[in-house]
Amino acid sequence: MMIKTPKKLIEVALPLDAINVAAAREKSIRHGHPSTLHLWWARRPLAAARAVIFAQMVNDPGYQQGGGFKYGVNKEKAAIERERLFKIMEDLVLWENTSNEEVLDRARAEIWRSWRETCELNRSHPLAADLFNPEKLPAFHDPFAGGGALPLEAQRLGLESFASDLNPVAVTINKAMIEIPPRFAGRRPVGPRVERDRQGKLSEDWSGARGLAEDVRRYSAWLRNEAEGRIGQLYPQVEITAAMATERPDLKPLIGQRLTVIAWLWARTVKSPNPAYSHVSVPLAASFLLANKPGKERYLEPVVTGDQYSFLVRSGPPTALAKNGTKVEGRGSSFFCVLSKTPISGDHIKAEAQAGRMGSRMMAIVAEGQGERVYLPPTNEMRPLL
Ligand SMILES: C[S@@+](CC[C@H](N)C(=O)[O-])C[C@H]1O[C@@H](n2cnc3c(N)ncnc32)[C@H](O)[C@@H]1O
Protein backbone atom coordinates (compact mmCIF):
# COMPACT_ATOMS: atom_id res chain seq x y z
CA MET A 1 0.00 0.00 0.00
CA MET A 2 1.31 3.39 -0.99
CA ILE A 3 2.53 5.69 1.73
CA LYS A 4 0.79 9.07 1.78
CA THR A 5 3.36 11.77 2.33
CA PRO A 6 2.39 15.41 2.09
CA LYS A 7 5.10 17.66 0.63
CA LYS A 8 7.52 18.94 3.19
CA LEU A 9 8.13 22.63 3.73
CA ILE A 10 11.73 22.25 2.47
CA GLU A 11 10.37 21.19 -0.94
CA VAL A 12 8.37 24.38 -1.32
CA ALA A 13 9.96 27.34 0.45
CA LEU A 14 12.57 28.30 3.05
CA PRO A 15 13.43 31.60 4.79
CA LEU A 16 16.88 31.49 3.18
CA ASP A 17 18.01 34.98 4.14
CA ALA A 18 17.45 34.33 7.84
CA ILE A 19 19.21 30.95 7.62
CA ASN A 20 22.17 32.39 5.70
CA VAL A 21 22.65 35.31 8.10
CA ALA A 22 22.50 33.03 11.15
CA ALA A 23 24.85 30.47 9.56
CA ALA A 24 27.39 33.17 8.64
CA ARG A 25 27.24 34.73 12.11
CA GLU A 26 27.84 31.39 13.74
CA LYS A 27 31.31 31.21 12.20
CA SER A 28 32.58 33.88 14.59
CA ILE A 29 30.99 32.31 17.68
CA ARG A 30 33.33 30.25 19.78
CA HIS A 31 32.11 30.24 23.36
CA GLY A 32 29.77 27.29 23.81
CA HIS A 33 29.95 26.20 20.18
CA PRO A 34 30.58 22.48 19.58
CA SER A 35 33.23 23.39 17.00
CA THR A 36 35.53 24.17 19.96
CA LEU A 37 35.18 20.57 21.17
CA HIS A 38 37.17 19.33 18.22
CA LEU A 39 37.89 20.68 14.77
CA TRP A 40 36.07 18.89 11.99
CA TRP A 41 36.15 19.64 8.30
CA ALA A 42 32.94 20.38 6.45
CA ARG A 43 31.13 20.92 9.73
CA ARG A 44 27.72 22.35 8.88
CA PRO A 45 26.50 25.43 10.71
CA LEU A 46 24.09 24.46 13.47
CA ALA A 47 21.61 27.06 12.20
CA ALA A 48 21.48 25.40 8.78
CA ALA A 49 21.24 21.92 10.28
CA ARG A 50 18.41 23.00 12.60
CA ALA A 51 16.56 24.70 9.74
CA VAL A 52 16.77 21.82 7.27
CA ILE A 53 15.71 19.20 9.80
CA PHE A 54 12.73 21.31 10.85
CA ALA A 55 11.73 21.98 7.25
CA GLN A 56 12.06 18.29 6.37
CA MET A 57 9.82 17.24 9.24
CA VAL A 58 7.12 19.85 8.79
CA ASN A 59 4.47 19.51 6.10
CA ASP A 60 3.98 22.30 3.61
CA PRO A 61 0.52 23.76 4.19
CA GLY A 62 -0.22 24.21 0.44
CA TYR A 63 -3.12 22.31 -1.06
CA GLN A 64 -2.27 19.10 -2.87
CA GLN A 65 -4.13 16.11 -4.12
CA GLY A 66 -3.05 12.90 -5.79
CA GLY A 67 -1.31 9.78 -4.56
CA GLY A 68 -4.56 8.76 -2.93
CA PHE A 69 -4.95 11.69 -0.60
CA LYS A 70 -5.81 15.35 -0.29
CA TYR A 71 -3.96 17.67 2.00
CA GLY A 72 -3.54 21.34 2.81
CA VAL A 73 -5.38 24.61 2.50
CA ASN A 74 -5.96 27.08 -0.34
CA LYS A 75 -3.29 29.44 -1.67
CA GLU A 76 -4.09 32.45 0.51
CA LYS A 77 -4.37 30.43 3.71
CA ALA A 78 -1.24 28.46 2.84
CA ALA A 79 0.73 31.68 2.36
CA ILE A 80 -0.33 32.88 5.82
CA GLU A 81 0.46 29.52 7.32
CA ARG A 82 3.88 29.47 5.64
CA GLU A 83 4.62 32.91 7.09
CA ARG A 84 3.83 31.50 10.53
CA LEU A 85 6.21 28.57 9.96
CA PHE A 86 8.88 30.94 8.62
CA LYS A 87 8.62 33.01 11.80
CA ILE A 88 9.27 29.87 13.86
CA MET A 89 12.30 29.13 11.69
CA GLU A 90 13.61 32.67 11.90
CA ASP A 91 13.57 32.42 15.70
CA LEU A 92 14.86 28.87 15.62
CA VAL A 93 18.03 29.59 13.64
CA LEU A 94 19.30 32.31 15.98
CA TRP A 95 22.34 31.29 18.02
CA GLU A 96 20.84 33.01 21.09
CA ASN A 97 17.89 30.64 20.90
CA THR A 98 19.98 27.47 20.84
CA SER A 99 18.64 26.47 24.24
CA ASN A 100 15.56 28.67 24.38
CA GLU A 101 12.94 26.12 25.38
CA GLU A 102 10.03 28.36 24.40
CA VAL A 103 11.29 28.67 20.81
CA LEU A 104 12.30 25.01 20.65
CA ASP A 105 8.93 23.91 22.00
CA ARG A 106 7.13 25.84 19.27
CA ALA A 107 9.27 24.06 16.68
CA ARG A 108 8.84 20.65 18.34
CA ALA A 109 5.06 21.13 18.50
CA GLU A 110 5.01 21.86 14.77
CA ILE A 111 7.01 18.70 14.02
CA TRP A 112 4.60 16.65 16.15
CA ARG A 113 1.59 18.22 14.44
CA SER A 114 2.89 17.35 10.96
CA TRP A 115 3.79 13.85 12.08
CA ARG A 116 0.34 13.24 13.52
CA GLU A 117 -1.28 14.51 10.33
CA THR A 118 0.89 12.10 8.35
CA CYS A 119 -0.06 9.25 10.70
CA GLU A 120 -3.71 10.15 10.26
CA LEU A 121 -3.37 10.04 6.47
CA ASN A 122 -1.78 6.59 6.73
CA ARG A 123 -4.11 5.26 9.39
CA SER A 124 -5.21 2.34 7.25
CA HIS A 125 -1.73 1.32 6.14
CA PRO A 126 -1.22 -2.37 7.09
CA LEU A 127 1.98 -1.48 9.00
CA ALA A 128 0.49 1.67 10.54
CA ALA A 129 1.04 0.43 14.10
CA ASP A 130 4.79 0.24 13.42
CA LEU A 131 5.33 2.93 10.85
CA PHE A 132 2.76 5.56 11.76
CA ASN A 133 2.51 5.63 15.49
CA PRO A 134 1.23 9.14 16.33
CA GLU A 135 2.89 8.83 19.75
CA LYS A 136 6.36 8.09 18.40
CA LEU A 137 8.28 10.39 16.09
CA PRO A 138 10.51 8.73 13.50
CA ALA A 139 14.12 8.49 14.63
CA PHE A 140 16.92 10.35 12.87
CA HIS A 141 20.07 8.62 11.60
CA ASP A 142 23.07 10.35 10.04
CA PRO A 143 25.51 7.72 8.74
CA PHE A 144 28.05 10.42 7.75
CA ALA A 145 27.75 12.45 10.92
CA GLY A 146 31.22 14.09 10.94
CA GLY A 147 31.19 16.92 13.48
CA GLY A 148 27.64 15.97 14.42
CA ALA A 149 25.74 19.15 13.51
CA LEU A 150 22.77 17.26 12.08
CA PRO A 151 22.26 14.60 14.78
CA LEU A 152 22.77 17.21 17.50
CA GLU A 153 20.08 19.43 16.04
CA ALA A 154 17.74 16.49 15.41
CA GLN A 155 18.08 15.64 19.09
CA ARG A 156 17.41 19.24 20.06
CA LEU A 157 14.24 19.17 17.97
CA GLY A 158 13.02 16.17 19.91
CA LEU A 159 13.94 13.29 17.62
CA GLU A 160 15.70 10.18 18.79
CA SER A 161 19.05 10.65 17.14
CA PHE A 162 21.65 8.18 15.87
CA ALA A 163 25.01 9.09 14.40
CA SER A 164 27.75 7.03 12.80
CA ASP A 165 30.80 7.71 10.69
CA LEU A 166 33.71 5.88 9.11
CA ASN A 167 36.18 7.98 11.07
CA PRO A 168 36.66 7.12 14.77
CA VAL A 169 37.40 10.78 15.58
CA ALA A 170 33.97 11.77 14.26
CA VAL A 171 32.43 8.90 16.23
CA THR A 172 34.09 10.21 19.40
CA ILE A 173 32.86 13.75 18.75
CA ASN A 174 29.33 12.44 18.30
CA LYS A 175 29.51 10.30 21.43
CA ALA A 176 30.70 13.28 23.42
CA MET A 177 28.04 15.56 22.02
CA ILE A 178 24.97 13.40 21.50
CA GLU A 179 25.24 10.16 23.43
CA ILE A 180 26.91 11.01 26.73
CA PRO A 181 25.30 14.35 27.74
CA PRO A 182 21.70 13.01 27.71
CA ARG A 183 22.82 10.00 29.76
CA PHE A 184 23.97 12.31 32.56
CA ALA A 185 21.38 15.04 32.04
CA GLY A 186 20.26 16.76 35.23
CA ARG A 187 22.77 14.90 37.43
CA ARG A 188 24.95 16.72 39.91
CA PRO A 189 28.72 16.35 39.56
CA VAL A 190 30.35 13.46 41.41
CA GLY A 191 34.06 14.21 41.12
CA PRO A 192 35.87 15.67 44.12
CA ARG A 193 36.60 19.37 43.89
CA VAL A 194 40.28 19.90 43.32
CA GLU A 195 42.57 22.30 45.07
CA ARG A 196 43.48 25.38 43.09
CA ASP A 197 40.73 24.71 40.56
CA ARG A 198 40.18 28.44 40.18
CA GLN A 199 36.43 28.08 40.05
CA GLY A 200 34.18 30.83 41.21
CA LYS A 201 31.01 30.24 43.17
CA LEU A 202 29.61 26.87 42.22
CA SER A 203 26.24 26.82 40.59
CA GLU A 204 23.63 24.64 42.20
CA ASP A 205 21.69 24.42 38.96
CA TRP A 206 22.69 21.08 37.53
CA SER A 207 20.06 21.04 34.79
CA GLY A 208 20.94 19.76 31.33
CA ALA A 209 24.62 18.95 30.94
CA ARG A 210 25.79 21.39 33.66
CA GLY A 211 26.70 18.66 36.15
CA LEU A 212 28.57 16.67 33.53
CA ALA A 213 30.40 19.81 32.35
CA GLU A 214 31.40 20.51 35.94
CA ASP A 215 32.76 16.97 36.29
CA VAL A 216 34.78 17.37 33.07
CA ARG A 217 36.16 20.65 34.47
CA ARG A 218 37.06 18.99 37.78
CA TYR A 219 38.72 16.08 36.06
CA SER A 220 40.72 18.35 33.76
CA ALA A 221 41.79 20.49 36.73
CA TRP A 222 42.94 17.31 38.48
CA LEU A 223 44.77 16.20 35.32
CA ARG A 224 46.41 19.62 34.97
CA ASN A 225 47.56 19.62 38.60
CA GLU A 226 48.85 16.09 38.29
CA ALA A 227 50.80 17.00 35.13
CA GLU A 228 52.14 20.12 36.80
CA GLY A 229 53.35 18.04 39.77
CA ARG A 230 55.08 15.49 37.56
CA ILE A 231 56.57 17.57 34.75
CA GLY A 232 56.00 21.18 35.86
CA GLN A 233 59.70 21.63 36.58
CA LEU A 234 60.36 21.29 32.86
CA TYR A 235 58.21 24.36 32.24
CA PRO A 236 59.73 27.11 34.40
CA GLN A 237 57.74 30.24 35.10
CA VAL A 238 59.25 33.54 34.12
CA GLU A 239 59.86 36.28 36.67
CA ILE A 240 59.36 39.87 35.57
CA THR A 241 62.27 41.84 36.99
CA ALA A 242 62.77 45.59 37.31
CA ALA A 243 65.65 45.29 34.80
CA MET A 244 63.32 43.76 32.23
CA ALA A 245 60.90 46.64 32.68
CA THR A 246 63.41 49.46 32.20
CA GLU A 247 62.74 49.69 28.47
CA ARG A 248 59.29 48.13 28.63
CA PRO A 249 56.76 50.34 30.43
CA ASP A 250 54.12 47.67 29.72
CA LEU A 251 56.00 45.31 32.07
CA LYS A 252 56.14 47.75 35.03
CA PRO A 253 52.85 46.62 36.65
CA LEU A 254 54.09 43.02 36.47
CA ILE A 255 57.45 43.50 38.23
CA GLY A 256 58.03 40.77 40.81
CA GLN A 257 55.36 38.50 39.35
CA ARG A 258 56.06 34.99 38.16
CA LEU A 259 54.12 34.33 34.97
CA THR A 260 53.17 31.01 33.44
CA VAL A 261 54.75 30.45 30.06
CA ILE A 262 52.27 29.34 27.43
CA ALA A 263 54.59 29.15 24.43
CA TRP A 264 58.20 29.35 23.41
CA LEU A 265 58.80 30.69 19.93
CA TRP A 266 61.70 29.12 18.12
CA ALA A 267 63.38 29.63 14.77
CA ARG A 268 65.31 27.03 12.84
CA THR A 269 68.92 28.01 12.26
CA VAL A 270 71.75 27.24 9.87
CA LYS A 271 75.35 28.38 9.96
CA SER A 272 75.78 31.70 8.16
CA PRO A 273 77.05 31.34 4.57
CA ASN A 274 79.16 34.47 5.13
CA PRO A 275 82.74 33.25 5.86
CA ALA A 276 83.18 35.96 8.53
CA TYR A 277 80.23 34.51 10.47
CA SER A 278 80.33 30.86 9.45
CA HIS A 279 80.67 29.89 13.12
CA VAL A 280 77.31 31.51 13.99
CA SER A 281 73.91 29.83 13.67
CA VAL A 282 71.50 32.37 12.19
CA PRO A 283 67.69 32.21 12.20
CA LEU A 284 65.46 31.19 9.32
CA ALA A 285 62.37 33.08 10.39
CA ALA A 286 59.53 33.90 8.00
CA SER A 287 58.23 36.54 10.42
CA PHE A 288 59.20 38.35 13.60
CA LEU A 289 55.60 39.30 14.29
CA LEU A 290 54.31 38.35 17.71
CA ALA A 291 50.90 40.01 17.85
CA ASN A 292 49.02 41.66 15.05
CA LYS A 293 45.99 43.07 16.84
CA PRO A 294 45.55 46.71 15.76
CA GLY A 295 46.88 48.99 18.49
CA LYS A 296 48.50 46.05 20.31
CA GLU A 297 51.09 45.00 17.77
CA ARG A 298 54.24 43.37 19.10
CA TYR A 299 57.21 42.20 17.12
CA LEU A 300 60.79 41.08 17.58
CA GLU A 301 63.72 43.23 16.56
CA PRO A 302 67.01 41.42 16.13
CA VAL A 303 69.87 43.38 17.75
CA VAL A 304 73.34 42.61 16.40
CA THR A 305 76.47 43.06 18.52
CA GLY A 306 79.63 41.89 16.71
CA ASP A 307 79.04 38.27 15.84
CA GLN A 308 76.17 37.86 18.31
CA TYR A 309 72.51 38.68 18.06
CA SER A 310 69.62 38.83 20.47
CA PHE A 311 65.98 39.88 20.25
CA LEU A 312 64.07 42.80 21.69
CA VAL A 313 60.30 42.92 21.94
CA ARG A 314 58.94 46.09 20.34
CA SER A 315 55.46 47.58 20.20
CA GLY A 316 53.90 49.64 17.44
CA PRO A 317 53.35 49.22 13.73
CA PRO A 318 55.52 46.33 12.54
CA THR A 319 58.51 47.10 10.31
CA ALA A 320 59.13 45.32 6.99
CA LEU A 321 61.76 43.18 8.77
CA ALA A 322 59.17 42.27 11.42
CA LYS A 323 56.69 41.20 8.75
CA ASN A 324 59.08 39.13 6.66
CA GLY A 325 61.63 37.95 9.20
CA THR A 326 64.84 36.88 7.51
CA LYS A 327 62.95 35.55 4.51
CA VAL A 328 63.58 37.09 1.10
CA GLU A 329 60.16 38.07 -0.16
CA GLY A 330 58.92 36.10 -3.16
CA ARG A 331 62.04 33.96 -3.35
CA GLY A 332 60.81 30.55 -2.18
CA SER A 333 63.08 29.23 0.50
CA SER A 334 65.66 32.03 0.35
CA PHE A 335 66.60 33.82 3.54
CA PHE A 336 69.37 36.22 4.56
CA CYS A 337 71.92 36.20 7.35
CA VAL A 338 70.70 38.40 10.20
CA LEU A 339 74.31 39.49 10.95
CA SER A 340 75.67 40.22 7.49
CA LYS A 341 72.55 40.34 5.23
CA THR A 342 74.29 37.74 3.03
CA PRO A 343 71.66 35.74 1.10
CA ILE A 344 71.06 32.20 2.33
CA SER A 345 70.05 30.08 -0.62
CA GLY A 346 67.70 27.11 -0.51
CA ASP A 347 70.67 24.96 -1.54
CA HIS A 348 72.74 26.18 1.43
CA ILE A 349 69.86 25.36 3.81
CA LYS A 350 69.49 21.92 2.28
CA ALA A 351 73.21 21.21 2.49
CA GLU A 352 73.35 22.40 6.12
CA ALA A 353 70.37 20.24 7.05
CA GLN A 354 71.88 17.20 5.29
CA ALA A 355 75.15 17.77 7.14
CA GLY A 356 73.18 17.73 10.43
CA ARG A 357 73.91 21.38 11.11
CA MET A 358 70.37 22.67 11.23
CA GLY A 359 69.68 23.92 14.72
CA SER A 360 67.12 26.00 16.54
CA ARG A 361 67.13 29.16 18.57
CA MET A 362 64.55 30.45 21.01
CA MET A 363 63.39 33.88 19.93
CA ALA A 364 60.70 34.78 22.43
CA ILE A 365 58.58 33.60 25.32
CA VAL A 366 54.82 34.04 25.43
CA ALA A 367 53.55 34.28 29.00
CA GLU A 368 50.11 34.59 30.52
CA GLY A 369 49.58 38.10 31.88
CA GLN A 370 46.42 39.50 33.40
CA GLY A 371 43.92 38.83 30.65
CA GLU A 372 46.52 39.28 27.94
CA ARG A 373 49.63 37.71 26.56
CA VAL A 374 53.01 39.06 27.55
CA TYR A 375 55.86 38.70 25.07
CA LEU A 376 59.39 38.47 26.43
CA PRO A 377 62.85 37.76 25.09
CA PRO A 378 64.34 34.47 26.39
CA THR A 379 65.46 34.87 30.01
CA ASN A 380 68.09 33.04 32.07
CA GLU A 381 65.36 30.85 33.58
CA MET A 382 64.84 29.44 30.11
CA ARG A 383 68.51 28.59 29.69
CA PRO A 384 68.02 24.86 30.34
CA LEU A 385 65.74 24.85 27.32
CA LEU A 386 68.14 26.69 25.03
C1 LIG B 1 30.92 16.28 4.86
S2 LIG B 1 31.35 15.32 6.26
C3 LIG B 1 29.91 15.42 7.24
C4 LIG B 1 29.84 16.72 7.96
C5 LIG B 1 28.70 16.78 8.96
N6 LIG B 1 27.39 16.88 8.33
C7 LIG B 1 28.93 17.96 9.91
O8 LIG B 1 28.11 18.87 9.97
O9 LIG B 1 29.97 17.96 10.55
C10 LIG B 1 31.29 13.71 5.60
C11 LIG B 1 31.62 12.63 6.62
O12 LIG B 1 31.42 11.36 6.00
C13 LIG B 1 32.35 10.44 6.53
N14 LIG B 1 32.47 9.32 5.59
C15 LIG B 1 33.05 9.31 4.35
N16 LIG B 1 32.92 8.10 3.77
C17 LIG B 1 32.22 7.33 4.64
C18 LIG B 1 31.75 5.98 4.62
N19 LIG B 1 31.98 5.20 3.59
N20 LIG B 1 31.04 5.54 5.68
C21 LIG B 1 30.81 6.33 6.75
N22 LIG B 1 31.24 7.61 6.82
C23 LIG B 1 31.93 8.10 5.80
C24 LIG B 1 33.61 11.28 6.71
O25 LIG B 1 34.45 10.71 7.69
C26 LIG B 1 33.03 12.66 7.13
O27 LIG B 1 33.02 12.77 8.52
Q: How far is the centre of ligand 1, averaged over its atoms, from the C-alpha of 160 (Å)?
A: 20
Return the pLDDT at 282: 97
Closest-CA residue, ligand 1 atom 21, reads 166
Q: Best mutation site among 38, 165, 171 for ligand 1, i.e. most ligand atoms within 8 A of its Cβ?
A: 165
Return the pLDDT at 298: 95
Return the pLDDT at 196: 66
What Cα–Cα distance (Å) separates residue 341 from each residue in 285, 305, 348? 14, 14, 15
The residues facing 330 across adjacent strands are none
Q: How far is the centre of ligand 1, averaged over its atoms, from the C-alpha of 41 (Å)?
A: 9
Helices 75-92 and 46-57: crossing angle, nearest 10°? 150
Q: Residues with beta carbon inside 6 Å of ligand 1?
A: 40, 42-44, 143-144, 146-147, 149-150, 165-167, 170
Query: Could you tell me the sign of the dihedral formed by the alpha carbons of 275, 280, 284, 288, in that order?
Result: negative
Distance CA 208, CA 63 (A): 40
Helices 149-156 and 46-57: crossing angle, nearest 10°? 60
What Cα–Cα distance (Å) separates residue 177 from each residue in 32, 95, 144, 242? 12, 17, 15, 48
Ranges assigned E (strand) in 213-350: 238-239, 258-259, 261-271, 281-284, 289-291, 298-305, 308-315, 335-336, 343-344
C-beta of residue 143 within 8 angstroms of C-beta of residue 88: no
Ranges assigned E (strand) in the chain: 64-66, 69-71, 140-142, 161-163, 238-239, 258-259, 261-271, 281-284, 289-291, 298-305, 308-315, 335-336, 343-344, 359-368, 373-376
The letter for the amino acid at 287 is S
Q: How far is the centre of ligand 1, averaged over its atoms, from the C-alpha of 144 (Å)?
A: 4
Closest-CA residue, ligand 1 atom 4, reads 146
**Per-residue tens of pLDDT for the chain, all 386 residues:** 789 999 999 999 999 999 999 999 999 998 889 898 898 988 999 999 999 999 999 999 999 998 899 999 999 999 999 999 999 999 999 999 999 999 999 999 999 999 999 999 999 999 999 999 999 999 999 999 999 999 999 999 999 999 999 999 999 999 999 999 999 999 999 998 877 666 666 667 898 888 999 999 899 989 998 999 999 888 889 999 999 999 898 899 999 999 999 999 999 999 999 999 999 999 999 999 999 989 899 999 999 999 999 999 999 999 999 999 999 987 677 999 999 999 999 999 999 999 999 999 999 999 999 889 999 998 766 665 55
Q: How far is the centre of ligand 1, averaged over its atoms, from the C-alpha of 222 (Å)?
A: 34
Closest-CA residue, ligand 1 atom 17, reads 166
Return the pLDDT at 1: 77
C-beta of residue 325 within 8 angstroms of C-beta of residue 288: yes
Note if the pTM is more than 0.75.
Answer: no
